[in-house]
A and B are shown apart, each in its own frame.
Chain A
Amino acid sequence: MKNIEKRKLKNSVFKYSTVAIAILALLPLFFIIFYVFRKGLPVINWEFLTSVPKSIGESGGGILNAMVGTLMLVIIASAIAVPIGIFAGVLISEHPDNIISKMLNLSVEILQGIPSIVIGLIGYIWIVRQMGHFSALSGGITLSIMMLPMIIKHTKETLELIPDTLKESAYALGIPYYNTLLKVILPSGLSGIFTGILLGLARIAGETAPLLFTAFGNSYLNVDILKPVAALPLLIYNYATSPYQEWHKISWGASCILVIFVLTLNIISRLVIKKWKIKY
């Protein structure tokens, strides 16, 4: 009898310690969010959102340049990555046995694992070196490379869930192949593709390393895609590693906005998955 009690005790001790350790592992999330909001929220006001940084010593100033820069970079990156990504994803699901698809699968696996700093180097070698200067365009293209695997994977996985009967019904109505895909298959897989795009956006909006040698940063407002632009993560990095208290404050405010933006994208994408789940 004693043996059984010992085993039962072990059982419950293990269960509760597992729960405790798991909760302990998630504590940093609360710490980070709490810290960022406590330090960042007081900084944010109308001026902070609508003006550019001031020089050291002057108080005030904002992060408009970084927000506009991030917006530009994200738009450029999506404009490139979304069409290529969706088409590549369709290719894998439509021609799974083709040699190109197999190589593409491998490429996506590789692309997903490449460290962001290496992608930054590539952006520098491919674009900045050829153009001779840093620019928003080079930053956007670099980020689009990071966004691709997310979109391709989600497109592929969603389209694989759609049953062949749907496609056959469209054929039976005399709808040609390209229209079947564009007007029947892709719309029914929209939720998954949309999730992929949102997650891709959330990922690249917070990336700093690929922008260090491409978008470079800019302390003035710039909307010319051929000139360097600021970006939220770049600004956070530059100001956080500076020795000035004033700049740290701006950096906390920017962190707060970035965290809200990224986590909102993440949460929306979860909701999209839940609400529009493909059911067949």
Chain B
Amino acid sequence: MGKKSLRNKKNNKSGGESYSSSDFPFLWSFKNKLFNSGLFLAGITVILIVAGIFVSLIIASLPSIKEFGIDFLFSTKWNPVIEKFGALPFLVGTLLTSFLALAICIPFSLAISILLGEYFTEGWFASLVKTLTELLAGIPSVIYGFWGMFFLVPVVRYLENVIGVQPYGIGIFTSSLILAIMIIPYSASLGRDVIEMVPSEYKEAAYSLGATRFEVIKKIILPYSRSGIFAGIILALGRAVGETMAVTMLIGNSNKMPDSIFSPGNTMASVIANEFNESTFELYTSSLIEIGAVLFIVTIVINLVGKYIIKKFEVET
């Protein structure tokens, strides 16, 4: 007992935080410090994880970077047998699927945004649509892929028969369809947020001049929230670029350059998912990891740009 109180006194003198007449000020200030270091330790861990991901990806792809250099991104030949790796078909595949998906997604997500942001801001219908949109975002990617294999593929095959192209069923177009369904919730919820933020003074001013609701939406709401909606679309693009499982199951996994939007192909993510466990030698593995590094950088740039635009929009409003 005596020893403890002595220690407490000593600590009080040396200027540690004390809580006046309490019994264990030393213990408290020690625990405070411990708690704070715990906070910082957790924070630093997360920062190190993110930095470590970047560094590890680069280090692990060094063999491939050394072997192929910048040609890796421009060569169309991906052939493990002769140990030649070029990622252009996958870059093109990713670009085609994501932008096609975006084009399909925009009218739908815009409709949901306007519906929830302007027409029905509260009430049972609004909360129903909102919940359903969130559930749509919650369904696992692999289920989308599985459903796509048995539902979308026959539909697309029929469509391809009608317009007279090779009826694969699977391919870039099918993947874009499933991607569009998957990214609608993201751009829709962001779009709703920005549409709701449009100041009502502007809308009321337009109404007082005799504008119809459609005219208010067209002339006031959409121009005002343009940058925010654009940011939502960019973030949805980031999702589409990185989406793996559903695409892997529907794109057909062909390493050739796609020659139309109906042909099978591969995206950056799907080629990794498909071939990584089969990569038997170091150059093969590191080429796949280099694709992963490219994917990482592309998605981060897309995400940070999107979030920057949204922040700017929020500040302006």
Contact = CB atoms under 8 A, between A and B. Distances in A.
Interface of A: 7-8, 10-11, 14-15, 17-19, 21-22, 24-26, 28-29, 31-32, 35-36, 83-88, 90-92, 94-95, 100-101, 103-104, 107-119, 121-122, 124-126, 145, 148, 152, 174, 176-179, 181-182, 202, 205-209, 212-213, 216, 233, 236-237, 240-241, 251-252, 255, 258-259, 262-263, 266-267, 270
Nearest to B50: A107
A240 B246 CA distance: 11
Interface in B214-237: 214-215, 217
B299 A18 contact: no
Interface string B44-83: 1111011111001100100000000000000000000000
Contact of B272 (A10, A114, A121, A207): A121
A115 B214 CA distance: 38
Interface stretch (B5-13, B109-117, B255-263): B109-117
Contact of B31 (A107, A152, A178): A178
Contacts of B147: 31-32, 35-36
A95 to B, nearest CB: 8
Given A24-B108, A116-B242, A208-B245, A15 B138 contact: no
B132 A29 contact: yes
A116 B296 CA distance: 10
A236 B277 contact: no
B142 A236 contact: yes
A202 B138 contact: yes
A255 B212 contact: no
Interface of B: 17, 19-20, 22, 28-29, 31-32, 34-36, 38-47, 49-53, 56-57, 60, 107-109, 111-112, 114-115, 119, 129, 131-136, 138-147, 149-151, 181, 184, 188, 212-215, 217, 238, 241-245, 249, 269, 272-273, 276-277, 288-289, 292, 295-296, 299-300, 302-304, 307
Contacts of B40: 91, 100
B138 A111 contact: no
B34 A208 contact: no
Given A11-B212, A15-B213, A36-B147, 18 more contacts: A36-B143, A88-B42, A90-B39, A104-B46, A112-B303, A115-B241, A115-B244, A116-B141, A125-B56, A145-B49, A178-B36, A212-B277, A213-B276, A237-B142, A237-B245, A263-B139, A270-B131, A270-B134
Contact of A126 (B56, B115, B215): B56
Nearest to B211: A7
Contact of B181 (A28, A252, A259, A267): A28
Given A28-B181, A233-B142, A240-B149, A177 B32 contact: yes
Contacts of A209: 141, 244-245, 269, 273
B143 A259 contact: yes
B181 A117 contact: no
Given A19-B119, A83-B42, A110 B143 contact: no
A258 B140 contact: yes
Contacts of A126: 52, 56
B268 to A, nearest CB: 9
6 contacts: A11-B213, A84-B46, A87-B43, A121-B57, A206-B143, A209-B245
A266 B140 contact: no
Given A113-B299, A115-B269, A125-B60, A176 B31 contact: yes
B304 A118 contact: no
B304 A109 contact: yes
Contact of B111 (A25, A111, A262): A25
Contacts of A124: 276
A248 to B, nearest CB: 8
Contacts of B296: 114-115, 118
B139 A21 contact: no
Contacts of A125: 56-57, 60, 289
Nearest to A209: B244
A4 B144 CA distance: 46
A176 B146 contact: no
Contact of B307 (A24, A109, A208): A109
Contacts of A216: 277
Nearest to B108: A25
